Structure 1
Amino acid sequence: MAAPASAVAAATGQAYEEAIALTKRLKMPYFRRALEEVVPTAKAQRWDPAEIVRVLLAEEVAGRESSNLRTRRKRAGFPTGKTFHVWDETASSIPAPTQQALRTLEWIGRRENLCICGPSGTGKSHFSEAIGQTAVDAGLAVSWFTIEDLGAIVRRHRVDDTVNKAFNRIARADLIIVDDIGLLPVSDDAAEGFYRLVDSAYEKRSLAVSSNLHPSGFDEIMPKTLATATVDRLLHHAHIAVTSGESHRLNEATTGKGVVSFSS
């Protein structure tokens, strides 16, 4: 009976090279990179074999999780990278208990929606992106759009009649964010795209929408029939957060905090 290949390799001093080859076949790059450091350390400190395996597998898991996080963040398409690390909870007009409840992300698990509405500069986009960043950190898939992005998707996929497929694919994300609705009139394609997205995600995925208008006023910027159908689905299982007050951006500008002061 032939000896196992691993036993032959060990006897001829080729165990390390074989281990490298196996990590390549198993696609374990972080395990492979750690071998160079872990093997001599384990020999010098006489580690238990189980400890060697544990450390190497832990390196592989940590590496994969870090890589997956970077991939999810890139795919989300966030516009600025704003997080809760630079968010002042006390400066927001959204009640603190509401902020804290939304930050738990439990509403995403329940397939509920979030609508943040209020004047420009009151933190809607920042809060929306920070929620999205938190969801990515928690291992969820997130996608970020403006409403005109949705119109572009409609136009691009109308050519080959794959609009439904496109929006069903978008709705695979755990959280879809649509930012800055209401600043300008919505094109017909964008209105259609918004409706298609809301319809595709209805009771299956969570949407977070930020707008200068309350959703009940969406018929001011898009066709009434589409607005009615969209808002009906959007608000059925939705939390509504209303922001108020002066623009944080304008306040920083008028107090000189929006730029770095020139030295005298």
Structure 2
Amino acid sequence: MTAELKRMCKSLRLAHVADIYDRIPFEDPVQYAEALLTMELQLREEAKADRLIKKAKFIQEKSLSSFQWSEKVHFPPQMDATELGTLQFIERKENLIFTGSTGTGKTHLATGIGHEACRKGCEVRFYRVSDLAEVLEKAWAEGRWGQFRNRFKKVDLIILDEMGYVPFNKEGAELLFQLISDWYEQTSLIITSNLEFSQWNRVFSDSRLTAALVDRVIHHAHILNFTGDSFRVTHALSRQK
């Protein structure tokens, strides 16, 4: 490709044409133009998905297709695996709550859904709740609280992983409540927890705040219960046989 053609591609923001134009089979001008631009669009979408996945800051590389469904994942009446895979709950600004013992696949499924959402063009953010508590308190102490809250205005899905493993102090609980109040009916949440809602008082120091937070979280929510033994323990035991 000539320098002039490269310049025009850059001017037209055709980021990939210069790299792929000689790999497209030519049958006739219309076929070639359609194939070339189709590939340009496809590579743009892939690059965008990669950027969104990087911004989400997942701690694992998990896909929705790699999740092993079983009878140990209990759906509410109005949802099943097929419906979940459509991600329509994000369009409806609904929440997903995954409850169950450690190691039963909650984080894997939440991460897989998050990756799929990124590939469909959604802005996603992933936090371990224990890490988020530190981030919130630091933002407050450094006078960046308002700026931090504004980061989520255009986010479509927020994943809060491992709610209940580490308790919040009073200030941290109040800051998280403010965030969830901001997100209420504006952004979809996925929350994973090893605790039932009746046990969330262990996490937050104020029972009234806990009740108000749970009320916002479970409104418009689909609750999935994960049962059975830990996949990691089961796998480790199987290798010893």
User: How far apart, CA to CA, are the structure 2 residues paired with 1:141 and 1:81?
Assistant: 17
Counterpart in the other structure of 2:196: 214
Choose 1 or 2 for highest CA Rg: 1
Q: For the Cα contact (< 8 Å) 2:73–2:224, is it kept in 1? A: no
Which runs of 5 or more structure 2 residues have no equivalent in the other structure? Answer: none
Matched, 1:55 2:35: yes
Counterpart in the other structure of 2:229: 246
Query: Given the two structures, how large is their TM-score scaled by the length of structure 1?
Result: 0.80
Matched, 1:35 2:24: no
Matched, 1:142 2:124: yes
Query: Given the two structures, how large is their TM-score scaled by the length of structure 2?
Result: 0.87
Matched, 1:87 2:67: yes
Change (3 A) 1:194 1:98: farther
Counterpart in the other structure of 1:201: 183
Counterpart in the other structure of 1:121: 103
Q: C-alpha displacement at 1:84, in angstroms? A: 2.8
- Partner deviation per Cα, 1:101-139 (whole Å, 9 max, x = no partner): 222211111001111111112211111111112212222
Change (3 A) 1:23 1:240: same
Counterpart in the other structure of 2:113: 131
User: How far apart, CA to CA, are the structure 2 residues paired with 1:225 and 1:164?
Assistant: 24
User: How far apart, CA to CA, are the structure 1 residues paired with 2:119 and 2:72?
Assistant: 23
Q: C-alpha displacement at 1:167, in angstroms? A: 2.2
User: How far apart, CA to CA, are the structure 1 residues paired with 2:154 and 2:75?
Assistant: 31
Change (3 A) 1:171 1:120: farther
**Which of 181, 198, 209 pairs up with 1:226?**
209
Q: For the Cα contact (< 8 Å) 1:123–1:248, is it kept in 2? A: yes
Q: For the Cα contact (< 8 Å) 1:149–1:190, is it kept in 2? A: no
Q: What SS does the aligned partner of 1:89 have?
A: coil
Counterpart in the other structure of 1:70: 50
Counterpart in the other structure of 2:166: 184
Q: What SS does the aligned partner of 1:241 have?
A: strand
Aligned partner letter, 1:55: A
- Partner deviation per Cα, 1:57-115 (whole Å, 9 max, x = no partner): 22321221111011111111111112233322125332496333222211111001111
Change (3 A) 1:51 1:169: same
For the aligned residues, what is the CA RMSD?
A: 2.4
Q: For the Cα contact (< 8 Å) 1:92–1:123, is it kept in 2? A: no
User: How far apart, CA to CA, are the structure 2 residues paired with 1:35 and 1:102?
Assistant: 38
User: How far apart, CA to CA, are the structure 2 residues paired with 1:100 and 1:63?
Assistant: 27
Q: For the Cα contact (< 8 Å) 2:136–2:176, is it kept in 1? A: no
User: How far apart, CA to CA, are the structure 2 residues paired with 1:26 and 1:160?
Assistant: 43
Q: C-alpha displacement at 1:36, in angstroms? A: 4.3
Q: Which has the higher contact order (CA 8 A, sep 6+)?
A: 2
Tell me the matched-pair count: 238
Change (3 A) 1:209 1:16: same
Aligned partner letter, 1:240: I
Q: What SS does the aligned partner of 2:74 have?
A: coil
Change (3 A) 1:101 1:62: closer
- Partner deviation per Cα, 1:193-227 (whole Å, 9 max, x = no partner): 43132111110110000001123321122122331
Pick which of 66-75 and 220-229 moved more.
220-229
